[in-house]
Every structure is written in C-alpha cells, then in structure tokens.
C-alpha cells in the first residue's frame, strides 16, 4: 500500500510541475497581447482599437481608443506591471477616474488572463482571451457585463 501511495504522490507531484510549467507567470509570457487590435463589435458609426507594446522600463503598455468619425469618444491608457510578492497588476488610466485603477491579475494561462479589483465601481473584473488572431475582452461586475471583440491587424 505504501508503494502505491508513493507512486500516486510522485504522479501528482509530476502533474503539478507540468501544470506550473505550462502556466505563464511573468509579464513576458503575456507577449501574445503585443500588437494592434481592431475592434469588430463596435456600435454603428463607431470604431475602436487597442495597441500593446513591450516597455522595458515597466512591462507592457497599452492604449485603447473609441472613435466616431473623426471624433475621439474614449481613451484608455493601460499597463501590466509587476508588484510586490511576484504579483502582476493590470493598470487602467481613464479620464473618468482621478488616478489609475489597479487590478490584481488573479489568473494567467497560455492565452488568457483575468484581473480583479473588488473595490472598484465598474468593472470589478477584466478578462482577456486570445483565440488565434482574435481577442475577446470582458468587463464585469455588479451584475453587468460588457464584451469587446478585436481582430489582430499586424
């Protein structure tokens, strides 16, 4: 019986190590986000895009814009930065907030990540998912949800 439980322990340890090896945990592992993304589910007459670059000084830097004709309706500056205790943060900076809002990245996988800030009014949760050359972003909280769909343009 001890041999069997020892074998199970080795098997479970191996599975955990393989799972950890396949789960990105550094900013560089979010490199799939880098590039230009054009929004595909705009409201009629509107356009939108996000652009992400690697910034060697901070991590990842993003910029999002929503337009209507030649008018800019919304601008968002974003960053993904390291924090204390190996934590990563998604930082959103929009004119509606007096200072940038930090969301703790709570889950990172090969093609998606989730970040949360339960103290923020909306959103409380942000999820980015890549599917080949498509990106889906979901903002949620307080019983509401908003989906943004993008297609990679570079």
Structural domain range at position 52: 2-152
CATH number at residue 63: 2.40.128
The two structure tokens encoding residue 147: 């989906």
How far is Cα 41 from Cα 138, in angstroms, rounded to an integer?
Answer: 13
What's the number of domains the chain is made of? 1
Provide the pLDDT confidence category of residue 21 given band limits of 50, 70 and 90: very low
Instruction: With cut-offs at 50, 70 and 90, classify the pLDDT of residue 25.
Output: low
Q: How many CB atoms lie within 10 A of CB 145?
A: 12
List, for residues 124-139, the tens digit of each pLDDT value: 999 999 999 999 999 9
């Amino acid at each position: 019986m001890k041999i069997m439980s020892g074998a199970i322990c080795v098997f479970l340890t191996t599975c955990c190590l393989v799972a950890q090896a396949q789960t990105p945990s550094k900013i560089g592992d979010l490199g799939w986000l880098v590039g230009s993304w054009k929004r595909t589910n705009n409201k009629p007459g509107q356009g939108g895009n996000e652009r992400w670059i690697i910034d060697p000084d901070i991590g990842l830097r993003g910029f999002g814009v929503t337009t209507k004709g030649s008018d800019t309706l919304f601008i968002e500056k974003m960053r993904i930065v390291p924090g204390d205790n190996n934590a990563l943060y998604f930082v959103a900076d929009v004119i509606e907030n007096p200072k940038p809002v930090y969301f703790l990245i709570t889950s990172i996988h090969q093609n998606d990540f989730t970040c949360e800030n339960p103290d923020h009014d909306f959103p409380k949760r942000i999820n980015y998912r890549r599917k080949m050359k498509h990106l889906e972003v979901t903002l949620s909280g307080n019983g509401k949800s908003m989906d943004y769909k993008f297609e990679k343009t570079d």
